[in-house]
Amino acid sequence: MSLPAPSTQGTHRLVSSPAGRIHLVEQGTGPLVLLVHGFPESWYSWRHQLPVLAAAGYRAVAVDVRGYGRSSRPDGVDAYRMLDLVEDSVAVVHALGEESAVIVGHDWGSQIAAGSALVRPDVFHGIALLSVPYAPRGGPRPSDVFSRMGGDEEFYVSYFQEPGRAEAEIEPDVRGWLSGFYAAMSGDTMPGPGAPDPHFTSPGGTLRERFPSGRLPAWLSEADLDVYAGEFERTGMSGALNRYRNMDRDWEDLADFDGAPVTQPSLFVGGALDASTNWMADAIEAYPTTLPGLVSSHLLDGCGHWIQQERPDEVNRILTGWLAALPA
């Protein structure tokens, strides 16, 4: 089924999945490359990659993850666990008439890509991770780990756990909140040394209180912000936030994969200024064990979290080079 597009780029379709439907945008022909976004984004975060991958001879497909955009938004919080998202990834590949694909993910999409490659290596024969490194399942329950971070302050992942709490902060002014959140984690607009960390809240406070204000990141135009804000103003934030609310369920569901490596040919690209790459430096150092198929790992100087939008040319060059070197 075709849909009217919010941009002139690519073909918009709905395909069936365990979620109900997944909305996707595809461009090009050739081997399938599945692009999976993170929080709080949509298929649109891959707008710079779709035409480049298509021109390089690939069938590039960017999805709206369940809970986002025009994809289905199941009601139950537990409908957003990792194994459900893996099933969605597999369903998209098969709905497109393919048997296998390379999967590329950013932020939560990086973890969805890793989970998909780990659980369904028969479907996903290559994996590229942007911004969030791969770390195998293991250790204490995630909620216990995050609750100990920040001392008297509350880490944003813990802040997101209670249904309705973050929604009450975000939904009265989605556009304003998104602009601040994007700026807080962008290389050119993130708070400088000594400023309060926007990943934490003070007791009784909100995340937004610590966001920078006054200008958008260089990568984000007013029109781009309109696209993102328009989607979340229509859908609300609960579907997106429910991904965070399933980390303990994922920890239980994936017990059989404790410590398991992802063995397919892989790629990692992170921003040197991104908190994710700094917090998880040990995970990057462990790649010889956890990602034995790693082809290359890159940290882009001066780059923040929104890597494929902040540095599209560099990411496209790295990604297309890696894809070209994959076994046929």
- Distance, in Å, from the CA atom of 91 to the CA atom of 73, rounded to the nearest integer, reads 16
Residues 192-214 have a mean pLDDT of 93
Is 11-325 CATH 3.40.50.720? no
Residue 9's pLDDT band, with cuts at 50, 70 and 90, is confident
Query: pLDDT tens digits, residue range 264-319?
Result: 999 999 999 999 999 999 999 999 999 999 999 999 999 999 999 999 999 999 99
Helices and strands (H and E) in the chain: how many: 15, 10
Could you say which of 64, 84, 107, 224 is catalytic? Answer: 107
**pLDDT of amino acid 213:** 86
- Distance, in Å, from the CA atom of 303 to the CA atom of 299, rounded to the nearest integer, reads 8
Q: Assess whether pLDDT exceeds 80 at residue 192.
A: yes
Query: pLDDT tens digits, residue range 111-145?
Result: 999 999 999 999 999 999 999 999 999 999 999 99
Q: How far is CA 228 from the centre of its chain?
A: 14
Could you say which of 12, 37, 199, 305 is catalytic? Answer: 305
- Distance, in Å, from the CA atom of 83 to the CA atom of 116, rounded to the nearest integer, reads 8
Give me the residue spans of the domains in the chain: 11-325
**pLDDT of amino acid 6:** 43
Q: Is 83 helix (H, G, I), strand (E, B) or coil?
A: helix
305 included as an active-site residue: yes
Query: pLDDT tens digits, residue range 33-73?
Result: 999 999 999 999 999 999 999 999 999 999 999 999 999 99
Average pLDDT across the chain, whole number = 95
Crossing angle (nearest 10°) for helices 108-119 and 82-95: 80
CA distances from 213 to 10, 107, 177, 180 (A): 33, 23, 10, 6
Query: pLDDT tens digits, residue range 173-187?
Result: 999 999 999 999 999
Q: pTM score > 0.85 for this model?
A: yes
